[in-house]
Chain A
Amino acid sequence: AQTVTQSQPEMSVQEAETVTLSCTYDTSESDYYLFWYKQPPSRQMILVIRQEAYKQQNATENRFSVNFQKAAKSFSLKISDSQLGDAAMYFCAYRSPYGGATNKLIFGTGTLLAVQP
């Protein structure tokens, strides 16, 4: 079974600085999808970024980018120019390609990011 590990329960960053959140996963599959979701205090789950394993190029979305290391099974999230609104819980998630059209995600335990003014 696939597992997702986030080894940093909490992180802190100064406003305008850069922070990297770590995520590792375990799978025997060769093709899959990886995600980072953000959960602010409002509790809403917001998709931040998505990576398809067969794509070697790292995904980017504005200030958010990933470092996808397939061989190492690592999928870290880099937030550049951190803003107060980035403070949230961040979840890494894995999706197997073998679920058909069913989008069942396996989530990590989350990293709580604090942004200091």
Chain B
Amino acid sequence: DAGITQSPRHKVTETGTPVTLRCHQTENHRYMYWYRQDPGHGLRLIHYSYGVKDTDKGEVSDGYSVSRSKTEDFLLTLESATSSQTSVYFCAISDPTRGHGEKLFFGSGTQLSVL
């Protein structure tokens, strides 16, 4: 299995508070992604990164920001959490140059509840 660690695994927070989720990889893969999973929606891309300090928006980026200061770490921040951001958040990595083809490797997810 790819070395991807998401932290925390579970978090409960209150509306209006800032939240940061962390994704750490030991594979030295160039590309990293944040998805959210919601019933009836599948997984939707929030933000992605194609290198250190290089990030771009996905289809549901409103209310989220990301940062990548090191290859191994990709942070997702909710500046002011809302109940609509209650979800399971997945980090994923890929690096086609290493011969992985089009495979995405996923972390184990973070369950975030905003009360």
Q: What residue of chain A has the Cβ atom nearest to residue B110's Cβ?
A: A43
Please classify the interface of chain A as helix (H, G, I), strand (E, B), loop, or mixed, using the class held by over half of its residues. loop
How many inter-chain contacts with C-beta < 8 Å in the A-B complex? Answer: 52
Nearest CB of chain B from residue A70's CB, rounded to whole Å: 17
In the assembled complex, the CB of B23 is this many whole angstroms from the nearest CB of chain A, namely 14
| Binary flags per residue of A36-50, CB closer than 8 Å to B gives 1, else 0 | 000000111101001
A26 to chain B, nearest CB (A): 15
Chain B minimum-CB-distance residue to A97:
B102
The answer to whether the Cβ of A105 comes within 8 Å of any Cβ in the partner chain is yes
A31-77 contacts to B (CB < 8 Å): 33, 35, 42-45, 47, 50
Flag whether B8 is at the interface (Cβ < 8 A). no
Q: Interface with A: B38-46, B67-75, B77-85, which one?
A: B38-46
Q: Which residue of A lies closest to B101 (CB)?
A: A50
Q: Is B52 on the interface with A (CB-CB < 8 A)?
A: no
Q: A45-B90, A109-B41 are in contact. List 6 more A-B contacts (CB 8 A).
A: A43-B88, A43-B108, A45-B106, A50-B102, A104-B45, A107-B44
